Structure 1
Amino acid sequence: MIQQGQKLPNATLSELTKDGMVNHDVTELFAGKKAILFAVPGAFTPTCSESHLPGYVVHADQLKAKGVDLIACVSVNDAFVMQAWGEAQNASEIMMLADGDGSFTKALGLEMDTEKFGGVRSQRYAMLLDDGVVTRLNIEAPKEFEVSKAEKLLELL
C-alpha cells in the first residue's frame, strides 16, 4: 500500500470534458502542484453523493485559498459516469477522474472487493499531494466517513 512520502504510481486516469475524452498521465497531472486526491467506492452511491463529494464542492474555495492547486476525485467507474455525477453534484471545481479498470487503485494498494455491490472498487480515502508525493494519507475504516472529509483536510492545511 502506498505510504506518506512516496510518489504516486505511474498510471492513466480518464476524464470526459466538454472537448471529449482526456487521458491524464498521473505523474504529469500532479507534477508541480499542491493537490488533494480523494477516492470514493462509487459514483452516485449514498455516502459519496450525500456527503463526500458535496463536502469538497462546498469547501473548494477554502481549500484553494490555503494553496491547493487541484482537487480531484477518483473512482473505479467509467469517465461517462464520473462526468455525469460531477454535473449532477455541481462539482465544476473538482476534477472527476475515472479509474475504469481499477489499475490505479490496485497500484496504490487501496482496492477492496465489494463482491455483489460492484466488484473491485476503491477504499474511501483522501490524500494531500505535493508534486505527486503523498504528504498525508487518510484512509477510512470500513463503513466509516471521518478522516477523508473535506473539512478534515482543511484542518490539516
Structure 2
Amino acid sequence: MTIEVGQSIPAATLNILEGGVQTITTAEIFGGRKVMLFCVPGAFTPTCSERHLPGFIERHGEFRARGIDVACIAVNDAFVMDAWAKAQQVPEGMLMLADGNGDFTRALGLEMDATKYGMGMRGRRYALYAEDGVVRHLAVEAPGEFRVSSAEAVLGWLKAEG
C-alpha cells in the first residue's frame, strides 16, 4: 500500500557518507522539520542526472528560503550517492540518502521492478513533502514520465498552498 497524504513517514534507517558510512533515521530527517524528499530510480541515470537532481540543485535556495530541507533518495549505496553528489555539485545541506536495500522505499509502497533493465528493485520517481514527519504532498510519476516530481512542479504546489 502506497503512503498517502496525512500519514506519517514510516520509521526506517538510511545511510549517508560522512567520514565513512553513517546511519540516519527517518525521525532525524523528518522530525520537527519541513522536508522535500525526492526519489530517483538511480544515480547517474539519464533523466535523474540531466533533469531531476539538477532542478533541485538549481532551486535549492528557493526551498531553503521557505525553511524547507531538501533530500534526494535512491535505492543505491552511500558510496554511489556520494560520488553522484560530487559529480553533480550538490549544494551543502542537501541530503543524499542511500536506501541500499530498498527497505524505506518498500515501507512507503513506492518500489518498482526494474529487473528488465538490469537494475533490480528501485524506487519510483516521486517528490514527497512532509512537515514534522507527516506527508502533506505526494507526487508520483507515471512510468517513463517526468512532470509532477520536478523541483518546478513542487515549488508551484508550495506557492499555491501559500
Question: Fold conserved (TM > 0.5)?
Answer: yes
Tell me the CA shift for residue 27 of structure 1. 1.6
Shift of 1:58: 0.2
Q: Which runs of 4+ in 1 moved over 2 A?
A: none
Stretches of structure 1 that go unaligned for 5 or more consecutive residues are none
Letter in 1 for 2:101: D
Aligned equivalents of 1:49, 1:88: Cα separation in 2: 10
Instruction: Show the 5 A alignment for 1:3-18.
Output: 3-17=4-18
Corresponding residue for residue 98 of structure 1:
98
Matched residues in 2 for 1:87 and 1:131: separation? 29
Q: Which residue of 2 aligns with 1:52?
A: 52
Query: TM-score, structure 2 length as denominator?
Result: 0.93
Name the residue aligned to 1:21: 21
For 1:144 and 1:84, locate their aligned partners in 2 and report how far apart those are by CA, in whole Å: 25
Task: State the aligned residue count.
Answer: 155
> TM (normalized to structure 1)?
0.96
Identical aligned residues as a percent: 54
Partner of 2:64: 64
Distance 1:95 1:102 in 2: 17
Cα distance in 2 between the residues matched to 1:66 and 1:152: 15
CA drift at 1:116: 3.2
CA displacement at 1:105 relative to structure 2: 0.3
1:152 is aligned to 153
Partner-residue secondary structure (3-state), 1:88: helix
> Equivalent residue for 2:74?
75
Q: For the aligned residues, what is the CA RMSD?
A: 0.9
Q: Which runs of 5+ in 2 are unaligned?
A: none
- Alpha-carbon distance between aligned partners in 1 of 2:153 and 2:57, rounded to the nearest angstrom: 14
CA distance in 2, matches of 1:127, 1:151: 13
Give the Å deviation of 1:89: 0.4
Alpha-carbon deviation of 1:20? 2.2
Q: Distance in 1 between matches of 2:21 and 2:110?
A: 25
